[in-house]
Amino acid sequence: MKVLVIGQGGREHALCWKLRQSPSVTEVFCAPGNAGTALDAVNVDIQATDAARLVKFAKAEKIGLTVVGPEVPLVEGLVDIFLQEGLTTFGPTKKAAEIEGSKRFSKDLMRKAGIPTADYRVFQNPQEALVFLNERESERIVVKADGLAAGKGVTVCSTRDEARDAVKRILVDKEFGSAGTRIVMEERLEGQEISMLALVDGRTIVPLEAAQDHKPAYDGDTGPNTGGMGTYSPTPLMTSELADEVIQKVFIPTVHEMNREQRPFRGCLYAGLILTPQGPKVLEFNARFGDPETQPILMRLKSDLAESLLACAQGKLSEIAPLEWDPRPAVCVVMASEGYPGEYRKGKVIRGLDEAAQVADSKVFHAGTIRAGDQVLTDGGRVLGVTALGDTIQQAKLKAYQAVKCIRWDGAWCRKDISDKAMVVGG
Ligand code: AMP
Ligand code: GLY
């Protein structure tokens, strides 16, 4: 079977790398891909949202399974178009992807289904939002743009002034355009965050091992929010009791509610959880694999990924054997461009990739990279996800950073404390 992965980030590199290991897979294509996917797959020069050309390519190559990575093509309905053309595709339809595409939709869904989440209100009118803010006792609040904003639409506020400013930026200044027609304002929760992902085919839920992301840019969880500066899996925070609770209280009711609303969810359902004193609550849903969660998760997956994703796409998840995992933890350290998550330059020459590849049990997943002749250049904010397995989290961390040390470019930086949260818990 030939497989097509759509997207160009670290998640897609990890998907290509793992799919290629499946005995049933003869060839993996990645559209448009990056310099890393060019090594583990065949890059196809078609953008992830160019549905017409993607369909044409998939038909010409007789692709047996297409896997859509990023949220934008999912929310735009790329999977619907592929399915209409009779192409077997992993990922939710446009109506199901709304669980990520609209925060208002996902909050309303959680309210209806009784899924634990922060209390919230939705506003379209800035004056009404400000009145609500003034009347609230607590100044601690979170302001979110309703639509997709590349991870930048959320402001976690400690003061009313910060919240007022966020309301103004979204509803008045239209910083996120039509993604900010509405805002969700919600209670600010405190606790450790965990990402729990599951393959879902509308009926059967197959959980993947949990991971912990590090969203703030700098060490000690300080600085601006990013797409994720590093991850590790598994996390000692996710005990088997907690995993059961999350399946019961979050995944099962979500899958049922999506069915009731005629939006059956088929694909990877990602619950962003926060562990509060009252138990786990959902911060957000994503309609796709997480980035960079996918990198350590797939590095640990021993089962055949193509078989699992195909079964999911065909509604046959109940027929696959339980997933098998490498018990060793994996740590992924994101190396970023100078200036990220603000403005940054592209086109810096990356050196040391061959040396890094020599570090045992490690894999450098590319994100924002591009090949130019025999050089690899930076081409994004998050550039590489340097991932390693170890007997303990400490050892995985050590190896990941050993590989990081081999790699250099002008302005390269990373957090130095990825996975330390696990040590605090006692991993
Ligand atoms: P989201 O895109 O909704 O997951 O929000 C991005 C990040 O903002 C989350 O990973 C949290 O760190 C933070 N966040 C979102 N909602 C809340 C909340 N209700 N309380 C505290 N932090 C939040
Ligand atoms: N790592 C966060 C996300 O994929 O949304």
For the segment 75-84, what is each residue's pLDDT rounded down to a tens digit? Answer: 999 999 999 9
Residue nearest to atom 3 of ligand 2 (CA): 290
CA nearest to 167, candidates 137, 128, 135, 138: 128
pTM: 0.96
Structure tokens at 279: 């138990």
Pairing of strands 279-286, 375-378: unpaired
Which atom of ligand 2 is found nearest the CA of 289? 4
Single-letter residue type at 311: A
Residue minimizing CA distance to atom 15 of ligand 1 = 283
Q: Collapse the DSSP code of 279 into the 3-class scheme (helix H, G, I; strand E, B; otherwise coil) and give the result.
A: strand
Q: Report which bound ligand comes closest to the CA of 285.
A: 1
Residue environment code for 1-20, b if the CB has 16+ CB neighbours within 10 A, otherwise e: bbbbbbbbbbbbbbbbbbbb
Q: Which ligand is nearest to the CA of 145?
A: 1
Q: Which ligand is nearest to the Cα of residue 148, counting in written order? A: 1
Residue 353 tokens, joined: 């990739």
Using CA positions, which residue lies closest to atom 11 of ligand 1? 283
Give 381: exposed, middle or buried? Use CB within 10 Å, 0-12, 13-18, 19+. buried
Q: Is the pLDDT assigned to residue 427 strictly greater than 50?
A: no
Average pLDDT estimate for 71-78: 98
The one-character DSSP state at 189 is P
For 288-344, the pLDDT digits (tens) are: 999 999 999 999 999 999 999 999 999 999 999 999 999 999 999 999 999 999 999
pLDDT tens-digit readout, 89-141: 999 999 999 999 999 999 999 999 999 999 999 999 999 999 999 888 888 99
Give the helix ranges, DSSP H, for 261-338: 294-300, 305-313
199 within 8 A of 309, measured Cβ to Cβ:
yes
Q: Evaluate the CA torsion angle 95, 99, 104, 106 in order and state its sign.
A: positive
Give the H/E segment covering residue 216: strand 216-218
Name all domains of the chain by residue range, CATH numbers in brackets.
Answer: 2-93 (3.40.50.20), 119-187 (3.30.1490.20), 192-319 (3.30.470.20), 330-425 (3.90.600.10)
Question: Ligand 1 centre from 379 Cα, in Å?
Answer: 27
Cα–Cα distance between 175 and 181 in angstroms, integer? Answer: 10
Q: Lowest-confidence range among 220-224, 259-263, 309-313, 399-403?
A: 220-224
The span from the first CA to the last CA of the chain, in angstroms, equals: 40
Which of 223-232, 301-310, 342-351 bottoms out in mean pLDDT, i.e. has the lowest? Answer: 223-232
pLDDT per residue over 40-59, tens digit each? 999 999 999 999 999 999 99
DSSP state for residue 200 in the 8-state scheme: E
CB atoms within 10 A of CB 233: 32
Measure Cα distances from 228 to 157, 225, 381 in Å. 19, 8, 11
Model confidence at 185: pLDDT above 60? yes
Measure the CA–CA gap between 317 and 309, rounded to whole angstroms: 9
Ligand 2 pocket check for 293: Cβ under 6 Å: yes
37: left (phi over 0), alpha (psi -120 to 50) or beta: alpha
Give the residue, out of 286, 288, 298, 332, with the most ligand 2 atoms within 8 A of its beta carbon, to mutate for a pocket test: 286
Residue 426 has pLDDT above 80, yes or no: no
The residue whose CA has the least distance to atom 7 of ligand 1 is 154
Is ligand 1 within 6 A of the CB of residue 273?
no
Torsion-angle region of 234 (φ positive above 0: left; ψ -120 to 50: alpha; else: beta): beta
Structure tokens at 397: 């961390």
Which of 197, 208, 213 to probe ligand 2 with, by most ligand atoms within 8 A of CB? 213
Average pLDDT on 345-358 reads: 97
Query: What integer pLDDT is reported at residue 408 of this predicted model?
Result: 98
Ligand 1 center to residue 213 CA distance, Å?
12
